[in-house]
Structure 1
């Protein structure tokens, strides 16, 4: 089932998500629905708060970056209760977008490397380090669990210039090809 994507203006996107337990109701179904929603929406990552669930879960399929980073071939992972241990390396800027901010893309600087501890869909614990595109997507999705959106990294001037677009999104005056849930 494809979830509607929660968009800018919904207070849920600004809340810190809650940890989940292995016996979380219908977790397998939630994960499967998140994959379906992400692929349908042409995303490379999707965090649970983006589909109206304030739980610490995100999914990433970064295999689209395999042309430039061959190690991303088949990179498809579920991250449950993740915790970023460290970010390091040079910051680099890349144009980012977000399913919760349709029609907005902006340059965002992030560290090149991230070390993250998380549970996979079988609740097996991992601690891994990622660089490049995978590291960037992980940082972006992790931010959703902390109530942070990529526009929060923009300069005050840039945010002011985007204000009209952000208001339009919060009022549902955008028409992405996927279903959205507009704040009430």
Structure 2
């Protein structure tokens, strides 16, 4: 199965706000969701937003799972969020390293709220409301940024906080094994 093209930094769709989904049962919506689920897994991502597949709709998939790009990611079942809204953000903010399927081979140190509260529609049209914290809260904020026409680069506070992914991986290996 070939992976759909992922929009890269500079693509117009990544800098424009996405539109709300009005018909979650439409065949095109269902097809897009399946492409998002397949792509995030094939690309070793932990989340993806519809604009990253050139679809200007307010849909995100959160699919945290350990993989080569995120070996310490917590395991969870993929979660589809249609028209997600962040209702509340904690006062507590932490910087953490983020990558993005649309910003190839780069990592950035990004400040994010440590806890959030989100409402959304499921694929079945059910309204959900839940609090998230830690890594999953970070991924949701990252993907919701895509729905608002932003990438993690827009959140970096200093040019020194953007590095090549190979440098990031080398730093991670050193932290894991300080004798190297």
Shared fold per TM-score greater than 0.5: yes
Of structures 1 and 2, the one with the larger relative CO (CA 8 A, separation 6+) is 1
39, 42, 45: which one aligns with 1:43 = 45
Please say if 1:2 is aligned against 2:19: no
Residue number in structure 2 paired with 1:129: 131
CA distance in 2, matches of 1:34, 1:157: 30
The unaligned stretches of length 5 or more in structure 1 are: 166-184
Residue number in structure 1 paired with 2:176: none
Change in Cα spacing, 1:51 to 1:157, as seen in structure 2 (3 Å) is same
Residue number in structure 1 paired with 2:55: 53
Contact 1:90 1:112 in 2 (8 A): yes
Q: How many residues align?
A: 159
Instruction: Summarize the alignment of residues 65-144 of structure 1 with structure 2, pairs less than 5 Å apart.
Output: 72-144=74-146
Q: Shift in Å at residue 17 of structure 1?
A: 0.3
Contact 1:2 1:34 in 2 (8 A): no
The unaligned stretches of length 5 or more in structure 2 are: 165-180
Residue deviations 1:24-77 (CA, integer Å, cap 9, x gap): 342222111111111111101010000000000011111439x978xx543320
Q: TM-score, normalised by structure 2?
A: 0.80
